[in-house]
Structure 1
Amino acid sequence: MATILQIETATPVCSVALAINGETIALKEQAAQNIHASSLTLFIEEVMQTAGLKYKDLDAIAVSKGPGSYTGLRIGVSTAKGLCFALDKPFIAIPTLKMMANGFLLQHPNYGGLICPMIDARRMEVFTAVYTNKLQEIEAVNAKIVDEKSFILELNQHYVTFIGDGAEKCIPVLDHQNAHFSNLNFNSAANMSSLAKEAFDNQNFEDVAYFEPFYLKDFVFTTPKSKTN
């Protein structure tokens, strides 16, 4: 039996779930800007209390590894690492976009098209990938500037559903009869449960000391205009 604490902080959603054998038994999440630092440990404690479990009962800690928000990912990964060190538990990292696609398939088990999760980057750029309905990756994770030619090969051959906070801004650009959009939130730690269980069963663990989030792009520091004069 695998009891896994799961953390998702790659987007404005701060989400914590507890799963036993791939089934979510407790979940606490909230979508808001800049709440991860103040809320994550509180959410973890609430989920543990809801499940009636002690930290020693955990078998592993899983975290959404990115891509996504630089600050959010650092908070989630550092918290997960701290728990793994303190509890001497295995550390599991789940690709954020794959977690999102898995969440969509959990809600649409008979879906026959492709899934394209998108995380908002800046302007018309998104972090994205393309998955089949079996979660096979047919376009690798990348940072893409979306225009009217994006995904044209996939759209000409398949029904494609675009999900995530980056998909909404692409609606006017991806004007194709096979392009469909979902405005539901799939950045939930609950969508990690089956993936984390599979990783645990295969002993697909990360090195806690050396693991880094998958930022995809370097963090860019900006200077306020008032200080450039």
Structure 2
Amino acid sequence: MKILHLETSSKNCSVAISNGNELLCLCEERTGDYKQSENLHTFVEWALEGAEITLKDLDAVCLGMGPGSYTGLRIGAASAKGFCFGLGIPLVAVNSLVSMAEPFLGNGYDAIIPIIDARRMEVYTAVFDPNNGEMITKTEAKILDENSFDEHTGQRVLFVGDGCTKAQEVLKLPNAEFRSDVYPSAQYLIKKGVEKFKNKEIEDVAYFEPFYLKDFQGVRQRKKEIF
């Protein structure tokens, strides 16, 4: 079961190849701006070469569907659809916040909370169970203030993502830890992507849209709740 994983929702343009749950190759680069349109297909070529397979060997494409950068998500979705249509293989989609929580599971936290920087004091966020990685609150766009996440007061909470910089300035959670250097990565889509593929949780390639979460420049998007 060879799957191409694409994650383009942030400044980290990331491509991985897996065989089942085994990571065969990872190619990613984090830049100060968004260069997915320049780098994505080159990274796919490099990852396939590193995994010693070709496009024809792929069984599916797994996409980090957002939330995140509108432009980055559009580029990733267009590429994923192109591969699926061209190769006649299915598409599975995973919430990009999953890949931010995945590497920190089982480390003794009471909650893991990815926070992606949005406009002003807003972040995209959800709360994850620190043991099994399940999302225990829906993904939302949240305005940060001193009372945000106060239900976790007294708990050992890990916040991850580029929204940590402004979160640290306002949150009143003495036991919280912050990791602003964490971005969505294709390698951490593998577990959930394989699970969805096995369970036949397949997207309709023709009608699939990324999880933008918010409207962009007056374009109305159908609201979704992603768990």
TM-score, normalised via structure 2 length: 0.91
- The runs of 5 or more residues in structure 1 that have no matched partner are 222-229
Q: Where in structure 2 are the equivalents of 1:74-223 lying within 5 Å?
A: 74-105=74-105, 109-133=106-130, 134-156=132-154, 158-220=155-217
Instruction: Give the secondary-structure state (helix, strand or coil) at the position aligned to 1:77.
Output: helix
Instruction: Give the secondary-structure state (helix, strand or coil) at the position aligned to 1:24.
Output: strand
Q: Distance in 2 between matches of 1:220 and 1:166?
A: 22
User: In the alignment, is the contact (CA less than 8 A) between 1:103 and 1:186 conserved in 2?
Assistant: no
Q: Distance in 2 between matches of 1:16 and 1:120?
A: 22
Q: Distance in 1 between matches of 2:3 and 2:12?
A: 20
Greater Cα offset, 80-89 or 132-141: 132-141
Instruction: Give the secondary-structure state (helix, strand or coil) at the position aligned to 2:136.
Output: strand
Deviations 1:2-35 (A, max 9, x none): 1110000001110000111112110111112121
Q: Distance in 1 between matches of 2:100 and 2:187?
A: 10
Matched, 1:52 2:49: no
CA drift at 1:104:
2.5
Deviations 1:122-165 (A, max 9, x none): 11100000011122222210000111000001234x22110011
Q: Distance in 2 between matches of 1:138 and 1:155?
A: 17
Give the equivalent residue in structure 2 for 1:227: none
- Equivalent AA in structure 2 for residue 163 of structure 1: V
Aligned length: 216
Q: Where in structure 2 are the equivalents of 1:8-87 lying within 5 Å?
A: 8-32=7-31, 33-87=33-87
Q: Distance in 2 between matches of 1:121 and 1:148?
A: 17
Greater Cα offset, 184-193 or 70-79: 184-193
Q: Distance in 1 between matches of 2:49 and 2:3?
A: 14
Greater Cα offset, 123-132 or 175-184: 175-184
* Larger Rg, first or second structure (1 or 2): 1
Instruction: Give the secondary-structure state (helix, strand or coil) at the position aligned to 2:182.
Output: coil
Q: Distance in 1 between matches of 2:153 and 2:66?
A: 25
CA drift at 1:170:
0.8
CA drift at 1:201:
1.1
Deviations 1:83-115 (A, max 9, x none): 00000011010001122111332xxx3334200
User: In the alignment, is the contact (CA less than 8 A) between 1:14 and 1:29 conserved in 2?
Assistant: yes
Q: Distance in 2 between matches of 1:60 and 1:174?
A: 41
CA drift at 1:200:
1.1
Q: Distance in 1 between matches of 2:76 and 2:42?
A: 13
TM-score, normalised via structure 1 length: 0.90
Identical aligned residues as a percent: 44
User: In the alignment, is the contact (CA less than 8 A) between 1:120 and 1:126 conserved in 2?
Assistant: yes
Q: Distance in 1 between matches of 2:66 and 2:183?
A: 14
Q: Distance in 1 between matches of 2:57 and 2:24?
A: 14
